Amino acid sequence: MADTKRTATLTLDGKTYDLPVLSPTVGPDVLDIRKLYAQADVFTYDPGFTSTAACDSAITYIDGDKGELLYRGYPIEQLADKSHYLEVCYLLLNGELPNKAQMADFEGRITRHTMLHEQIHNFFRGFRRDSHPMATMVGVVGAMSAFYHDSLDINDPWQREVAAMRMIAKLPTIAAMAYKYSIGQPFVYPRNDLDYASNFLHMCFSVPAETYTVQPALAKAMDRIMMLHADHEQNASTSTVRLAGSSGANPFACIAAGIACLWGPAHGGANQACLEMLREIGTVDRIPEFIARAKDKNDPFKLMGFGHRVYKNFDPRAKVMKESADEVLDLLGVHNNPLLQVAKELEQIALHDEYFIEKKLYPNVDFYSGIILEAMGFPTSMFTPIFALSRTVGWISQWKEMISDPAGKIGRPRQLYTGAVARDYLEVENR
């Protein structure tokens, strides 16, 4: 990785410092500044990490200018077309696509870990019924460390493996239980005869009073949504999981931290915020008013589902999601869904507006996902939990990659201090 021949030279106060240039397999070179503070007594400054590589990773690669997303080198479009979520889970965790025997073993292990310890059901009953399901998920996933004591030791590869399997298997069950609890319906147990996505729909939408049959086309759309959300380089929630994991925190605590971070409307909460925005816009004729607000510097309003730190072209996931939206709405016979009409018109208007063109703001993964999920019958409060359960494999893959790095260190950023210099305490009568 290190290109020992190439260095960058920094000149500061008449002294020069050589910074090694590290070259990736694909993407921008990086300047290795690990020794800079020791050599030059200066920090670098990059609060939003816009120009900073916090780690090296072999899992996911994004080319923001091309609108390219690769999971272990495989383009997301090909995986969305030919693969399925659990196969993508195996790929992200292990680095290669599984053969038939490996896939059968992996799917069998996940399937047999989908139930939760029965006593964990009590955790849900401590929450108000109107709690946001993300609050419940953060609480219950964090509390898994109070139950599964045989998979907490991060230094034991087997325990790391068991924790990974448990979370990939159980997150859909937890998300479905959070949903059922919020609508006052009984929890529905997972079924081992259903595939991963069908099982999730079954646990969300079946009731004891009648038979529920999962529509295969909806299960396929759900599976595709999970695939599209599985991993995405060092986004805010993945970076949260890595930072939490760097202290040696147990895997359940790290994933709970990732769920908490994903909840923000600038990140995974954008799918809920986007649908709420489309609903607020209501009709096509009100779109210009919202475009004007998005452009107004004095208005904090942002067009939810648009823009991305990395993609300065179409988010490839949004393209796939848009196709799914058309398929699902056709299947459900909601062709003239007013929200979809507003979304499509908003997309066209925004893509031709000079503000969005100049700032390279394109629809992202969250722009169409909410429309599909709403058409499937999910309330907006369940959109981010579905993002969270889908991203769990990405968080865990990144966490495993970090933990198994022998050179790993606790993450401990420095700062540009702008506060008071040292001063003596002032007695209250002298203030």
**Interacting positions 218-257 with ligand SDX (CB under 6 A):** 232, 235
Q: In what order do the strands lie in the sheet with 74-75?
A: 60-63, 68-71, 74-75
H helices of 206-361, in order, are 216-228, 236-246, 251-262, 270-281, 287-295, 316-331, 338-351, 354-358
Among residues 195, 223, 347, 366, the one that binds ligand SDX under rule CB under 6 A: 366
Q: Which tokens sit at 188?
A: 């529905």
Q: Shortest Cβ distance from residue 425 to ligand SDX (Å)?
A: 40
The SS3 of residue 9 is: strand
Backbone torsions φ then ψ of 84, nearest 5 degrees: -145, 170
User: With contact defined as beta carbons under 8 Å apart, do 125 and 184 qualify?
Assistant: no
In the complex with ligand SDX, the residue whose CB is nearer, 66 or 112, is: 66
**Which of 195, 202, 308, 315 is the catalytic position?**
308
Options 120-128, 156-164, 296-304, 420-428: segment touching ligand SDX (CB under 6 A): 296-304
Q: Which of 195, 231, 315, 366 is catalytic?
A: 366
Helix (H, G, I), strand (E, B) or coil at 389: helix
Half-sphere exposure of 13 (CA within 13 A, CB side): 4
Cβ atoms 385, 132 nearer than 8 A: no
Whole-angstrom distance, CA of residue 61 vs CA of residue 50: 16
Stretch that binds ligand SDX, among 17-25, 28-36, 191-199, 303-311 (CB under 6 A): 303-311
Nearest residue (CB) to ligand SDX, 162 versus 262:
262
* Interaction mask 307-336, ligand SDX, x per CB under 6 A: xxxx--------------------------
Which phi-psi region, left, alpha or beta, contains residue 314 (left: φ > 0; alpha: ψ -120 to 50)?
beta
Nearer to ligand SDX, 190 or 268 (CB): 268
- Can residue 385 be called a binding residue for ligand SDX (CB under 6 A)? no
Minimum CB separation of residue 283 from ligand SDX in Å reads 20
- Cβ of residue 199: shortest distance to ligand SDX, in angstroms? 24
Interface residue with ligand SDX among 98, 172, 305, 316 (CB under 6 A) is 305
By beta-carbon proximity to ligand SDX, the closer residue of 202 and 232 is 232
Residues in the chain: 431
Query: For this structure, is 308 an active site residue?
Result: yes
Window of 122-130, 276-284, 328-336, 364-372 that interacts with ligand SDX by CB under 6 A: 364-372
Please say which residue, 93 or 350, places its beta carbon nearer to ligand SDX: 350
The span from the CA of 408 to the CA of 406, in Å, is 5
* Residue found by looking up tokens 């993609």 in the block: 311
CB 391 within 8 A of CB 139: no
* Helix locations, 310-382, DSSP H: 316-331, 338-351, 354-358, 366-376
Q: Which residues contact 230 (CB under 8 A, 6 or more apart)?
A: 71, 85, 88, 89, 92, 390, 391, 393, 394
350 binds ligand SDX (CB under 6 A): no
**Nearest-CB residue to ligand SDX?**
307
**Contacts with ligand SDX in 53-92 (CB under 6 A)?**
none
**Binding-site residue total for ligand SDX (CB under 6 A)?**
22
Helices (H), 83-156: 85-94, 100-111, 121-125, 133-143
Identify the residue among 109, 113, 302, 319 touching ligand SDX (CB under 6 A).
Answer: 302
Which residues of the chain form contacts with ligand SDX (CB under 6 A)?
48, 232, 235, 266-268, 270, 294, 302-310, 359, 361, 364-366
Q: List residues with catalytic annotation.
A: 308, 366
